[in-house]
């Protein structure tokens, strides 16, 4: 069965809208498009489909309210604009949704809310309780208080995390582009829109390495990163143009609109879902080709013998990324040893750990049970 034919059966959907969708080029809110979006989401909700909206636009709306043509570079100024713009943005959403008899709830998240497993579970419980009340959550990053070190950074990534938290059936990212092209359509007139993607390749990332508009925080590259995680988690994701008439209804009607990223069939376990969606990476372990094969193809734990290098400073029990020597992330997991300890045992056999460290609590640097691997 075509993956698009399954969308009609989706009962829980996350829809992400970017700044370029909600505003004109001058930063003013595009009220006509905003109203159309709300009408479509309200209609989905009337069909007993649970709807979660991840909305950008607070900083851009705040900047426009203050008469600014560009987003300032300093964090305190951005946070001030977020405080100004978030209230105005939510007020407009409340007004539009109320016209269709819908109640909304504002949820502002930071990376810290998702990095700790207990807080991640609390966020999950809160969002599920809101959905049970037949209320539509409107989610944004809490830009007013977040600092650079713990920023999620963009709402493409945030929408992926939210989709994982609520175990969504579908993630729709609405943007100012028709979907993913095989090359930049602004440069190459022969560029073709890709209807389906089964794997995010390095070539796609290179082609997509561009920024969004003046008031936006991301571009196609952030969407591909989001798609990579969604596909691994078993959640289909669609990128489509918000300017298309009835875009959400048409996606649910299985119309070939935008680009659909086809997920893997298996669903993640809850703990590995947190590793993939919620946890913040505190460092990186570089592994050789043998360790890569053992992790990806043979389902093994990460041993010290396959480690080539360590980046960052982290303690035992923290989440680290696992990368190949050329920088491709292949896994993420909870480490049994600190960065300094791993530097001492890198390349050594498990039997040598006690000699190098004076004691050995674990044979594995990261146990398979605490490891999420990108297949």
pLDDT of residue 171: 96
CA 67, 70, 76, 78 dihedral sign is positive
Q: Which ranges in the chain belong to alpha helices (H)?
A: 19-22, 31-46, 58-65, 75-98, 111-115, 117-132, 155-165, 202-207, 220-233, 247-252, 270-273, 289-296, 339-345, 353-357
> What string of DSSP letters covers 168-221?
-SEEEEEESSSS-BSS-TTT-TT--B-SEESS--HHHHHHT-----TT-S--HH
CA-based radius of gyration for the chain:
22
pLDDT of residue 18: 84
pLDDT of residue 211: 45
- What is the full per-residue pLDDT of the chain (375 aa) written as tens digits? 689 999 999 999 999 998 888 888 777 888 899 999 999 999 999 999 999 999 988 888 888 888 887 777 787 888 888 888 888 889 999 999 999 999 999 998 877 777 777 777 788 889 999 999 999 999 988 766 655 444 556 788 889 889 988 889 999 999 888 999 887 777 778 889 999 999 888 888 877 765 444 334 457 888 888 888 888 778 899 999 999 999 999 999 999 999 999 987 766 666 677 777 666 778 999 999 999 999 999 989 999 999 999 999 998 888 899 999 988 889 988 899 999 999 999 999 999 999 999 999 899 999 988 888 876
Binding-site sequence positions for substrate: 56, 143, 155
Q: How far is CA 84 from the centre of its chain?
A: 25
Binding-site sequence positions for ATP: 16, 175-176, 217-223
Q: Which domains does the chain carry?
A: 3-271 (3.40.1160.10), 281-373 (2.30.130.10)
Q: What distances in angstroms separate CA 16 from CA 83, 124, 190, 202, 295, one per listed residue?
A: 20, 18, 29, 24, 33
Binding-site sequence positions: 16, 56, 143, 155, 175-176, 217-223
The two three-digit tokens of residue 210, written as one number: 């561009």
- The pairing of strands 307-311 and 237-241 is unpaired
pLDDT of residue 258: 93
Give pTM, 2 decimals: 0.77
């Amino acid at each position: 069965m075509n993956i698009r034919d399954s969308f009609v059966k989706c009962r829980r959907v996350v829809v992400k809208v970017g700044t370029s969708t909600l505003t004109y080029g001058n930063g003013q809110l595009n009220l006509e498009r905003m109203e159309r979006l709300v009408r479509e989401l309200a209609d989905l909700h009337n069909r007993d489909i649970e709807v979660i909206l991840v909305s950008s636009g607070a900083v851009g709306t705040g900047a426009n309210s203050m008469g600014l043509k560009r987003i300032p570079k300093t964090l305190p100024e951005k946070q001030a604009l977020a405080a100004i713009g978030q209230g105005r943005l939510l007020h407009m959403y409340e007004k539009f949704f109320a016209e269709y008899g819908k109640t909304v709830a504002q949820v502002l998240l930071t990376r810290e809310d998702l990095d700790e497993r207990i807080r991640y579970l609390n966020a999950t419980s809160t969002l599920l309780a809101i959905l049970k009340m037949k209320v539509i959550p409107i989610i944004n990053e809490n830009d007013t208080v977040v600092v650079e070190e713990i920023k999620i950074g963009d709402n493409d990534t945030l929408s992926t995390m939210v989709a994982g938290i609520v175990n969504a059936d579908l993630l729709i990212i609405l943007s100012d582009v028709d979907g993913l092209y095989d090359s930049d359509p602004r440069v190459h007139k022969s560029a073709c829109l890709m209807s389906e993607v089964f794997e995010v390749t390095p070539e796609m990332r290179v082609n997509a390495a561009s920024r969004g508009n003046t008031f936006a925080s991301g571009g196609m590259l952030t969407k591909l990163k989001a798609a990579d995680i969604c596909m691994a988690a078993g959640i289909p994701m669609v990128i489509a143009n918000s300017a298309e008439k009835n875009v959400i209804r048409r996606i649910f009607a299985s119309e070939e609109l935008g680009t659909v990223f086809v997920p893997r069939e298996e669903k993640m376990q809850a703990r590995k879902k947190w590793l993939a969606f919620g946890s913040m990476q505190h460092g990186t372990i570089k592994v050789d080709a043998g360790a890569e094969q053992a992790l990806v193809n043979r389902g093994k734990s990460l041993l010290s013998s396959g480690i080539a290098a360590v980046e960052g400073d982290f303690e035992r029990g923290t989440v680290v990324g696992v990368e190949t020597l050329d920088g491709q992330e292949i896994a993420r997991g909870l480490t049994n040893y600190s960065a300094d300890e791993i530097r001492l045992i890198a390349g050594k056999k498990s039997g040598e750990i006690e000699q190098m460290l004076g004691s050995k609590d674990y044979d594995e640097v990261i146990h398979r049970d605490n490891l999420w691997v990108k297949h």
